[in-house]
Amino acid sequence: MEQLDVAHWLTSPAGQALLATMPAHNVADAFKLSTELRERGLTPEQSSALLTQTRLRDAARAKFGERATRMFFTDAGLQQSTRASVARQHASVFQRAGVREVLDFGCGIGADSQAFTDAGLTALGVERDPVTAHFAQANAGCAVVPTDGYALLGSYESREGLWLDPARRDARGKRISHPEHWQPALSDAIALAREFRVTGIKLGPGIRWADLPADAFVDWVSVDGDLVEAVAWFGTRDPGRGATILTEKPRREEGDAAATSASATSAGGEAAQGDDDATSRGDLLIMTAFAEPLPLPEGWAVLLSSAPLEEGVLPPDTTVYLVPFRTDTEEGC
């Protein structure tokens, strides 16, 4: 069977019924379960698809919660997808701007389109990979066109809202650091953004300050202290820089041992244990103090904080976003 045929079977009532009977993913049981499925008359491709979806749905719970058990994924699509809470944040920005229609350009498995649809927006997804596009339509509950986004633009009349998530990994899954090597390149994405009233372009959180579009409001987003993305917004507010702090986990109680120990990760990727959480991504540093106050590092300026700061000190239970301190003669000011 061709991959697209398998995808159609998987989302059919018969495929979904079988998926509902699959046990939790367990590598040790995979061969036995595959043999049992084959004995029930399934093709090798169908058996493999069921096992793959079970594995991906289990992994997707971290991003989508219980809803992951009703969604369809590819490996690459799950890896690059927007977690549900962040996708809802994207939808809220469009709503506040009065947008009613959004073109999801390169929608992947449809996580953002799903949030747009849930928010009452009219979403249209476009995804060049036909299998991913089919899963996106099943996930998002809106139309998804399996084609290149640029091929669709000529027939897409609305220029109200655009969401664009450039592909930032190569065919082997390796992260592409240079924005002009993304698909589409950042410069092309920015040019396209200016054709729409409101546009959001998803960026890697470690993007260089010098690569940020000057006429956009760039918003860094963290979830439970983990910096997950930056978004360049056009048409929503005056150009500038900001941060959005989202919380999914229950608030840590005072005295909880977990609240006093976290990892600090440098840009080079070396981890160390400490009483704070500080992650440096290119030209942005996010830092969280849990149970104890922390001194702010030298050479960094405050971009945004979740609570008022004491002089030179980050109070307990506070997250701050910092950028390298620049004089007015340095590039990027």
Peptide linkage before 308 cis (omega within 30 of 0): no
3-state class of 99 per DSSP?
Answer: coil
Q: Which helix (H) or strand (E) holds 71?
A: none
Q: What is the mean pLDDT of residues 267-289?
A: 47
pTM listed for this prediction? 0.77
pLDDT in tens, 234-277: 999 999 888 888 888 754 443 332 222 222 222 222 222 223 34
pLDDT value at 88 more than 50: yes
Instruction: Give CA–CA dist 143/111, Å, rounded.
Output: 13
Q: Report which residue type is found at 121.
A: L
Instruction: Give CA–CA dist 191/232, Å, rounded.
Output: 13
Instruction: Give CA–CA dist 124/66, Å, rounded.
Output: 25
Tokens linked to 160: 């109200």
- Residue showing tokens 């909880």: 256
- What value, to the nearest 5°, has the Cα angle with vertex 285 and ends 281 and 289? 130
Instruction: Give CA–CA dist 25/118, Å, rounded.
Output: 29
Residue-level pLDDT at 329:
37
**Using an 8 Å Cβ cutoff, are 254 and 292 in contact?**
no
- Residue showing tokens 């997808």: 81
Query: At a CB cut-off of 8 Å and minimum separation 6, what does 168 contact?
Result: 80, 175, 176, 182, 204
pLDDT in tens, 173-221: 788 889 999 999 999 999 999 999 999 999 988 888 889 999 999 998 8
pLDDT in tens, 114-165: 999 999 999 999 999 999 999 999 999 999 999 999 989 988 989 999 999 9
**Using an 8 Å Cβ cutoff, are 105 and 164 in contact?**
yes
Helix axis angle for 111-118 and 130-140, nearest 10°, is: 20
Instruction: Find, among 161, 163, 118, the residue nearest to 142 by Cα.
Output: 118
Instruction: Find, among 297, 301, 333, 296, the residue nearest to 318 by Cα.
Output: 296
